[in-house]
Amino acid sequence: MDFSLTDEEKAIRDTARAFIRREVMPLEQEVLRRERAHQPGITRDELRELQLKAKEFGFWGLSTPEEHGGMNLSAVAQSLIWTEIGRTFVPFRFGGEADNILYYANESQKAEYLIPTIEGERISCFAITEPGAGSDAANIKLSARPDGDDWILNGEKTFITNGNDADFAIVVAITDKEKGVHGGGSTAFLVDRSMGWKSEWIQVMGEGGPAALVFDNVRVPGRNILGEVGQGFQLGMQWIGKGRYIIPSHAIGLCERALQMAVDYANTRETFGSKIASYQAIQWMIADSETELEAARWLILRAAWTVDQGMDPRHSSSMSKLFGARVANDIIDRVMQIHGGMGYTRELPIERWYRYVRLLRIFEGTDEMQRLIISRDLLRGYTKIGGHLA
């Protein structure tokens, strides 16, 4: 068994790290200052400028096929890069990306939605969650009824990331109530904001915030169906599936940085005449954090590797999302504890991470939903215990 990265993976990781250090991290103090003044940490133009700078460095479209100008990196390489991005709390991501399901677009939709999204000229959001259907996404009610060549959308979506900024939404709607989502009764639509949907910002614990979207007799041309009629839920699950190894990859980057802060603090802070690093209580928190981080790292990289092998990644991705999110919460909690009162202040980013990582246990499938998937795979015999070693 060889746990080493290839030379190419190391080179990509190190170049991403250098870019984040040189170009992104210097913005951190300004991001904190703005967020504390209730402003966005970074504007859309500033993000775009950084992304174009990264493009010169060679980073553009991590998962985007080469025919669309992207890097088309392996899942393992993407995971490594997301860990590097996680080291900074500047709300940064590399440009040149589009939602994975936008590749189901036909040629004219590609020109209108996919390409401008990759180029950063348009912003998308993906909307499946509703006030009455989150974990139970199959229970969505937003309806689309045919009217000539058009469809009329009515209903509400909630907690939609980018929902306030997006100029189009990928919306999963019920097109045949009788069939239900599992029987081909749902469809994905590309819906421009100009077609009439409204959004309202939802204030949350972390920075930024999702939005509620309202569709009141929104008329959508039939040519805006993404994929096939009846394919909506399937596309929705595919969209969500990808985040399950990317989200924890990002989280371990921030945990590595935070843990290093805790180590440095423990080596300088003195109480009762000694460095707090000399106390076993502190040492154990550091040891547990490092051990969990290492375990999470390999679980996540293995999930990414499973994707690269073309194997069904569902089981390993759910384990990495469940474990990665849990570990991130435990580590940031300990890092705050080691910093004492300072950890709780807004002078340091720890309280920001603390608020952010709590989300990881909720969105894109709660802890409980990941457990449901993992246990169901075993109980129904889809996966054997330790079967991935076979």
Ligand X SMILES: Cc1cc2nc3c(=O)[nH]c(=O)nc-3n(C[C@H](O)[C@H](O)[C@H](O)COP(=O)(O)OP(=O)(O)OC[C@H]3O[C@@H](n4cnc5c(N)ncnc54)[C@H](O)[C@@H]3O)c2cc1C
- DSSP bridge partners of 189: 171, 225
Can you list the alpha helix ranges (DSSP code H) found in the chain?
Answer: 7-19, 28-36, 44-56, 75-86, 107-109, 115-118, 232-266, 280-308, 314-339, 341-344, 350-360, 367-379
| 364 has catalytic annotation | yes
Closer to ligand X at the Cβ: 173 or 282?
173
Residue 84's closest CA among 149, 22, 127?
22
**Euclidean distance between CA atoms 28 and 16, whole angstroms:** 17
Beta carbon of residue 367, minimum distance to ligand X (angstroms, whole number): 7
**Euclidean distance between CA atoms 78 and 362, whole angstroms:** 23
Beta carbon of residue 139, minimum distance to ligand X (angstroms, whole number): 9
CB 81 within 8 A of CB 58: no
Beta carbon of residue 298, minimum distance to ligand X (angstroms, whole number): 26
Closer to ligand X at the Cβ: 69 or 206?
206
Residue 252's closest CA among 333, 323, 314, 190?
323
Closer to ligand X at the Cβ: 256 or 364?
364
Beta carbon of residue 117, minimum distance to ligand X (angstroms, whole number): 15
Dig out the tokens for 341 from the structure.
């009162």
Closer to ligand X at the Cβ: 15 or 366?
366
Spell out the residues 6+ positions from residue 133 whose beta carbon is closer than 8 angstroms to its own.
139, 140, 141
Closer to ligand X at the Cβ: 106 or 139?
139
Beta carbon of residue 206, minimum distance to ligand X (angstroms, whole number): 7
Vertex 296 angle, CA 291 and 299, to 5°: 130
Closer to ligand X at the Cβ: 47 or 301?
47
**Euclidean distance between CA atoms 57 and 113, whole angstroms:** 26
Binding interface with ligand X (CB under 6 A)? 126-129, 134-136, 159-161, 204, 210, 359, 362-364, 366, 368-369, 372
Beta carbon of residue 361, minimum distance to ligand X (angstroms, whole number): 9
- The bridge status of strand 168-174 relative to strand 124-127 is parallel
**Euclidean distance between CA atoms 118 and 96, whole angstroms:** 4
Residue number, nearest CB to ligand X: 134
Catalytic residue (choose from 112, 130, 256, 364): 364
What positions carry a catalytic annotation?
364
